[in-house]
Structure 1
Amino acid sequence: MTASEQGLQRLMLQQEVDQLNAAYAAALDEKRFEEWPEFFVEDGRYKVQARENFDRGLPLALMALESQGMMKDRVYGVTQTIYHGPYYMRHIISPARIVSLNGDVVCAEANYAVFRTKPGGVSEVYNVGRYIDEL
């Protein structure tokens, strides 16, 4: 494969990752939470971890889900058992950066910011961070 073909392949992969991230954000922003686990493989992992712990290699995470089943349980908990006032979310995701290609596995990173707005309220920064994905 020529350098030009490799560059085109990487660009196409980045576009695919960006489209996946956009669909992911839309599902969450539009409160289609039942779709969220479907963005992961059956044994996929979802972790929300402080940067300090990640950088130091410490395992402590605010949330660590180890499978689609655990994600479905989380969706049930959030939608059926937890009450909070109404709000709207908006995810802003940067273009992905392809970190590596290992066979069929694409490792990518993207920065994100999530804003939350309560009806009649001012938008506020809810969370900022980085997606680190193996696809």
Structure 2
Amino acid sequence: MDATIRFAVQDLYTDYVRCVDDTRYEEWPDFFTDECMYRVVSRENFDAGMQMSALALESKAMLKDRVYGMNETIYHAPYLQRHVVGIPKILGAENGAIRAQANYVVLRTKLDAFSEVFNTGRYIDTIVTENGRMKFKERICVFDGELVPNSIVYPI
């Protein structure tokens, strides 16, 4: 794989977590194509090929609706997130799509508590170029544990 493409994929991952960690949620859907899939799923369900997900959004419109919900309708104790993401491994490319994977750790900090490990796992992504910009066609966040915290409010 060409080094330029590898760096572009790394930039996509870096820009994504910077956007989410900086709480610029209104920009989050712009990392995806109009027809996309964003799933947060347990490793057990993913490995078994089950579609049951903690969160499944099937288009950019659904991502935008989620942002509205996070900002306007979901009641929760506020917290901040900080992602630590490994260097993405490009698994292959075909028909103009890149398949990539990277490990992640999400730390959560509530305003009145110490930081804690919130979620660990791996991203499994399909990336395409749209209007000269790399975007996620599919982002599957496979979390390691079988249990998920009470709620996943913000993007993983």
**Counterparts in 2 of 1:80-95, with a 5 A limit?**
80-95=72-87
Cα shift readout 1:33-70 (whole Å, capped 9, x = no counterpart): 01111100000110001100110111111111100001
Task: Tell me whether 1:106 sits opposite 2:98 in the alignment.
Answer: yes
Equivalent in the alignment of 1:97:
89
Q: In 2, distance between residues paired with 1:95 and 1:12?
A: 15
Shift of 1:77: 0.6
Q: In 1, distance between residues paired with 2:25 and 2:116?
A: 21
SS in 2 for 1:43: strand
Q: In 1, distance between residues paired with 2:58 and 2:99?
A: 18
Equivalent in the alignment of 1:38:
30
Output the amino acid matched with 1:69. Answer: A
Q: Name the larger-Rg structure.
A: 1
Q: In 1, distance between residues paired with 2:123 and 2:105?
A: 10
Output the amino acid matched with 2:109. Answer: T
Match of residue 15, structure 2, among 18, 23, 26: 23
SS in 2 for 1:59: coil
Q: In 2, distance between residues paired with 1:52 and 1:86?
A: 29
Task: Tell me whether 1:124 sits opposite 2:93 in the alignment.
Answer: no
Match of residue 72, structure 1, among 56, 64, 81: 64
Equivalent in the alignment of 1:50:
42
- Which one has the bigger strand percentage? 2
Query: What is the TM-score with the length of structure 2 in the denominator?
Result: 0.78
Q: In 2, distance between residues paired with 1:100 and 1:50?
A: 24
Query: What is the TM-score with the length of structure 1 in the denominator?
Result: 0.89
Shift of 1:18: 1.1
Residue correspondences, number: 127
- Which one has the bigger helix percentage? 1
SS in 2 for 1:45: strand
List gaps (5 residues or longer) in structure 2: 128-156
Equivalent in the alignment of 2:134:
none
Cα shift readout 1:44-101 (whole Å, capped 9, x = no counterpart): 1100011001101111111111000011111111111112223221011100000001
* CA RMSD in angstroms, aligned pairs only: 1.1
